[in-house]
């Protein structure tokens, strides 16, 4: 086990643009596996059947990558600015203002892999960014990056929770970092109290079927009418639970990555302009954007749903 090279790896990860990096072993304790199973059994994954289909791999990394011996967890700050506080402004989640993070994160992880292969040219690997059947936040906590807050996002003491997560799994032994074992949420319930759809049945548990992010991105079909009037202007994703988090209010910092800056085509766009968004314009505005996931018809559904109640004194309070 090469202790010095392990620290070189994490230093190199920071030098190429990652905000945080850490290393852990692939062995997971039983608690994360049990929590995943309980979450799925409760149906909190809503219609995201892909979460359940590969649940064995999510709970046991050896089922996904049998040869794995080390997991390098990385995080990249994407925060650019806070969305408007006005419930009458149609809003897109901060993470989707710029270019699709999947592409950039994968590019950087392959760059990190190329560096490691200078020392271990024959190492086998898996590059994981969001779509792989792994528990990103669990690995990040195990690798010492931060803790999972009551809103279920990973929180760090230097960037808050405005972070993309990814992993590079290797079949070589590296020296692990210490897990992040302290929960700094304390008695704070700001994120739970601020959620306008009551998407948290209890602290640290998210019911996706009530989450604005799920309903505006992953959900197919009409948005259930019981949510009318409570989306607070969010038409793709939602940042409410992150905006009210004291750790973000104190430690958030603007990203150094220009790719994540807000596109001019969505800046200060009026409700009328959003309502008139054509499919051709959608393709132009959201080329290489994460917003493509909801497709034009999905975004138009969201715009129409939210526009019904714009101007009716919605509040995030």
Q: Per this entry, what is the length of the chain?
A: 317
The whole-model pTM stands at 0.93
Which tokens hold the place of 80? 């650019």
Among 130, 136, 158, 222, the active-site one is 130
pLDDT in tens, 75-101: 999 999 998 888 788 999 999 999 999
Tokens 């009530």 sit at which residue?
Answer: 210
Pairing of strands 91-92, 234-236: parallel
Q: Is 130 a catalytic residue?
A: yes
Range 150-176 average pLDDT: 97
Percent of the chain scoring above 90 in pLDDT: 87
pLDDT in tens, 2-40: 568 999 999 999 999 999 999 999 998 888 889 999 999
At 128 the three-state DSSP class reads: strand
Predicted confidence at residue 312, as pLDDT, reads 56
Predicted confidence at residue 316, as pLDDT, reads 39
Question: Counting Cβ atoms within 10 Å, is residue 66 exposed (0-12), middle (13-18) or buried (19+)?
Answer: exposed
DSSP string, 97-151: SSS-HHHHHHHHHHHHHHHHTTT-TT--EEEESSSSSS-HHHHHHHTTS-EE-TT
Question: What percent of the chain is helix, strand and coil (3-state, nearest 5)?
Answer: 40, 10, 50
């Amino acid at each position: 086990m090469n202790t010095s090279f392990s620290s070189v790896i994490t230093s190199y990860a920071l030098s190429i643009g990652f905000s945080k990096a850490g290393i852990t072993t692939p062995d997971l304790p039983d608690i994360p596996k049990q929590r995943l199973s309980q979450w799925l059994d409760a149906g909190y994954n809503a219609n995201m059947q892909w979460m359940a289909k590969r649940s064995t791999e999510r709970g046991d990394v050896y089922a996904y990558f049998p040869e794995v011996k080390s997991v390098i967890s990385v995080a990249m700050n994407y925060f650019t600015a806070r969305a408007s506080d006005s419930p009458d402004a149609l809003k897109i989640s901060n993470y989707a203002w710029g270019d699709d993070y999947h592409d950039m994160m994968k590019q950087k992880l392959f760059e990190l892999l190329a560096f490691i292969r200078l020392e271990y040219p024959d190492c086998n690997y898996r590059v994981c960014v969001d779509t792989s059947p792994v528990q990103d936040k669990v690995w990040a906590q195990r690798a010492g990056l931060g803790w999972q807050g009551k809103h279920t996002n990973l929180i760090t003491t230097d960037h808050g929770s405005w972070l993309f997560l990814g992993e590079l799994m290797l079949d070589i032994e590296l020296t692990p970092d210490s897990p992040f074992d302290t929960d700094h949420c304390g008695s704070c319930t700001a994120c739970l109290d601020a959620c306008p759809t009551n998407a948290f049945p209890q602290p640290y548990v998210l019911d996706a079927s009530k989450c604005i992010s799920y309903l505006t991105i992953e959900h197919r079909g009409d948005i259930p009418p019981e949510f009318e009037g409570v989306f607070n202007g969010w038409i793709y994703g939602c940042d409410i639970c992150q905006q009210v988090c004291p750790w973000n209010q104190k430690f958030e910092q603007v990203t150094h990555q220009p790719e994540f800056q807000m596109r001019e085509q969505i800046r200060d766009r009026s409700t009328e302009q959003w309502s008139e968004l054509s499919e051709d314009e959608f393709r132009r505005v959201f080329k290489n954007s994460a917003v493509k996931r909801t497709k034009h018809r999905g975004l138009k559904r969201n715009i129409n749903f939210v526009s019904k109640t714009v101007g009716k004194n919605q509040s995030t309070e």
